Amino acid sequence: MSQKDQRQKEDKERKEKEQRESIKENGELELSHRIHLLCVIGEIEGHECLSSNSKTTKYEHVLPKLAAIEDSPDIDGLLVLLNTVGGDVEAGLAIAEMIASLSKPTVSLVLGGSHSIGVPIAVSTDYSFIVKTGTMVIHPVRMNGTVIGAPQTYDYFKQMQDRILGFISEHSKASRERLEELMLDTGILTKDLGTILVGEDAVREGLINDTGGISDALKKLYEMIQAG
C-alpha cells in the first residue's frame, strides 16, 4: 500500500471514529449533501443535570452546535429528528429560537413524539413533518417541586405559557386561540389538562406541515437547498 493510500485509509477511519463519537455524545451526524442531522431525544435538560439513567438532550451542547452550523460554509441545511417527552421550558425555547433564527434551510421530523416544550422545537423549522403514528402533546405549564402560593407565582407561569403559545402560533398555522383550547381541554388526558394529537391530527390543526418519513423530510430539505 502506498503512503497516499495509507493516509486516505487513516483519514477515513478517523472521520468514522469522530462520527461515532458525535452520535454517542450528542446524537449528531453530518449527512451527505452537506446536511447536518440533529436529534432531540428523551428529556430536554436545562440548568439542572438529570439522572445519568435518563436519555437527555443537553441544551448547552445544542446551542453551540447550532451557532457552528450557521457559521459553517460546509453545511447547507439542518434536519431535526424529534422523539422527546419535553423538559425544561427555558432550554426548549432557547433551542427553538436558535433553530428559527438560522438562515439555512431547516426541516423537522417528529417520530415517536414531540411533547410539551418539544412542540415549539418541532414547529421552529422552515418545514415540518410527522410520521402517522407520531404524537404531540399540548398542555399548560406545570408546576414542579415547591412553589410559593402567591399571585406572582401564577403570573410567572401565565407569562411563560404565553411565550410558548406566542412562539407556536408564530411558527405554525395554528391560531393562538385554538392552541389555548387544545391546551386547556379536560376531556382527553385523564386527570390532567391538554390534548394529544396523533399524526394527521397535528397536520389538520396546523401545527405540522405534512405527514411523512425520513425520505420525505430529506427530499424537502434538498429542494429547499437547491431553491436557495
Give catalytic status of residue 175 as yes or no: no
Q: Are 198 and 192 within 8 A, CB to CB?
A: no
Residue 163: strand pairing partners: none
Rounded to the nearest 10 degrees, what angle do helices 59-71 and 3-26 cross at? 130
Q: What sign does the CA torsion over 182, 188, 190, 196 have?
A: negative
CB-CB neighbours of 24 under 10 Å: 9
Q: Which amino acid is at 19?
A: Q
Q: In the structure grid, which three cell numbers stand for residue 129, read together?
A: 413533518
What is the DSSP secondary structure assignment for residue 208, as one 8-state letter? S
Decide if 116 is catalytic: yes
- The catalytically annotated residue of 116, 128, 169, 172 is 116
Cell of 225: 437547498
Question: CA 136, CA 53: separation in Å to the nearest integer?
Answer: 24
User: Which run of H or E residues covers position 27?
Assistant: none
Angle between helices 89-100 and 151-170 in degrees, nearest 10: 30
Degrees, nearest 5: CA angle 208-209-211: 85
Q: How far is CA 62 from CA 59, 67, 200, in A?
A: 5, 9, 29
Catalogue the active-site residues: 116, 139
